[in-house]
Amino acid sequence: MRDDLIDQVTDLVREVARTIVLPRWRHLGTSEVREKSPGDLVTIADQESERALTAGLTALLPGSTVVGEEAVAADPAVLDRVGDGGAVWIVDPVDGTNNFAAGKSPFAVMVALLRDGEPAAGWILDVAGDRMTVAEAGSGAYLDGVRLKTRGDDPGAGALTGSISRNYFPDELRTGIDENASRLGRVTGGHHCAGYEYPSVATDEQQFAVFWRILPWDHTPGALILREAGGAVLHLDGSAYLPTDSQRGLLIAANHDIWHTVRGTLLP
């Protein structure tokens, strides 16, 4: 990767968050928020952030293309570009939009770069917390410049803390998971922001997270960051996560031993 690209994208993400996203937080008018689908909000900050990121990223890497959440909402065919060759940017202009629209945190700005379909770099900015997590494939993951390394032990199911984002699970699967979740130490409903969950696992604030709906802008940046820090990002059947996946169900964990403990506890 070009030596200065990591820093340039980091600066771009911070600038967009500072000038577009943060000024709208707790200052949205009623006409600046709408539903894309039931329970799924979009705000003027999402739209303006994605436009600015798209312009900035393609200027930094001429010939690259962008797959952004709002562009896909407007034209679902844009999603097909994730599998294209060459350089493709994946953009989530405001992750955790429902939190953002409610004046709550966390929410994040997330970007990933794919090279011929493979994640090459990822960026997550926790906007309200002002924490930047960055990873480059093969070069590690860093939180505000400090290298991240996930915990290496497995303390056992009863000592694990994590989150389960239950919203989209099929009823039968949700029921089984809910019945077994009590065997884990502490389980929350999540922060409604994948851009918060992934760094939280990498820093040992929690040891796992479970998702059902999988969209590339929600998971590609964090998946690379967590893997580069030493964590596990696998589907519930144990197969590796890929940005092009449409398969549902994803379990992320601080390491592979914890992944197997959580998987075996929730879905014995």
CB atoms under 10 Å from CB of 35, counted, come to 9
Distance set, CA 32 to CA 47, 117, 154 (Å): 10, 34, 46
69 is in an annotated binding site: yes
CB atoms under 10 Å from CB of 98, counted, come to 16
Coil, helix or strand at residue 32: helix
257 is in an annotated binding site: no
179 is in an annotated binding site: no
Spatial separation of the C-alpha atoms in residues 1 and 85, rounded to whole Å: 16
| Burial class of residue 65, CB neighbours in 10 A (0-12, 13-18, 19+) | middle
Coil, helix or strand at residue 267: coil
Please name the amino acid found at residue 146. V
Coil, helix or strand at residue 134: strand
**Tokens (6 digits) for 91:** 């953009």
7 is in an annotated binding site: no
**Tokens (6 digits) for 80:** 């097909």
Contacts of 15 (CB under 8 A, 6+ apart): none
Q: What is the dihedral angle through the alpha carbons of 185, 191, 194, 196, rounded to the nearest 10 degrees?
A: -90
Terminal Cα distance for the chain, rounded: 42
Judge whether 80 and 165 are in contact, CB under 8 Å: no
Binding residues: 69, 92, 95, 218
Binding residues for Mg(2+): 69, 92, 95, 218
